[in-house]
C-alpha cells in the first residue's frame, strides 16, 4: 500500500523543461502502475519518482533493485494527467 501512495507523488515537470537532461541517484524498480509507458520506475525519495525507459541501455532489467546514478532526458511524453517519461542515456551502479 505504501508503494502505491508513493506513486501518487511522482514528479511532474513544467513544459519549459521539456527535453531537459538531468542526473539523479535513485533505486530502479519495475513499473507496476497503470500508466502505459515506461518500463521502470526510478525512486529517488519517498516523494520523488520518475517513469523511465531506455533506448540506449538494454536491458534495464539487469539494474532492477539496484541503487544507481542515471542521466536521463525528458521525452516530452505524458498522459493527461500523468508523469513525464524519461529516457535513460547512462546508468552507473552505486556502492
Say what the pTM is.
0.75
Task: Return d(Cα 65, Cα 42) in angstroms, integer.
Answer: 10
| Assigned C-alpha cell, 10 | 511522482
Residue of 77 and 86 predicted with greater confidence: 86
Task: Return d(Cα 52, Cα 72) in angstroms, integer.
Answer: 8
Structural domains present in the chain: 2-93 (2.40.50)
> pLDDT tens across 19-76, in order?
789 999 999 999 887 777 889 999 999 988 899 999 998 889 999 999 999 999 999 8
Residue burial 56-89, b: 16+ Cβ < 10 Å; e: rest:
ebeebeebeeeebebbbbbbebbeeebbbbbbbe
Residue of 11 and 5 predicted with greater confidence: 11
Grouping H, G, I as helix, E, B as strand and the rest as coil, residue 37 is coil
In the predicted model, is pLDDT for residue 7 greater than 80?
A: no
Amino acid at each position: 500500500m505504501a508503494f502505491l501512495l508513493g506513486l501518487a507523488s511522482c514528479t511532474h515537470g513544467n513544459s519549459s523543461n521539456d527535453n531537459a537532461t538531468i542526473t539523479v541517484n535513485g533505486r530502479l524498480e519495475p513499473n507496476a502502475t497503470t500508466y502505459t509507458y515506461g518500463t521502470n520506475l526510478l525512486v529517488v525519495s519517498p516523494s520523488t519518482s520518475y517513469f523511465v525507459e531506455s533506448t540506449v541501455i538494454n536491458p534495464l532489467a539487469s539494474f532492477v533493485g539496484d541503487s544507481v546514478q542515471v542521466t536521463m532526458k525528458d521525452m516530452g511524453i505524458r498522459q493527461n494527467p500523468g508523469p513525464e517519461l524519461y529516457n535513460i542515456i547512462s546508468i552507473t551502479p552505486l556502492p
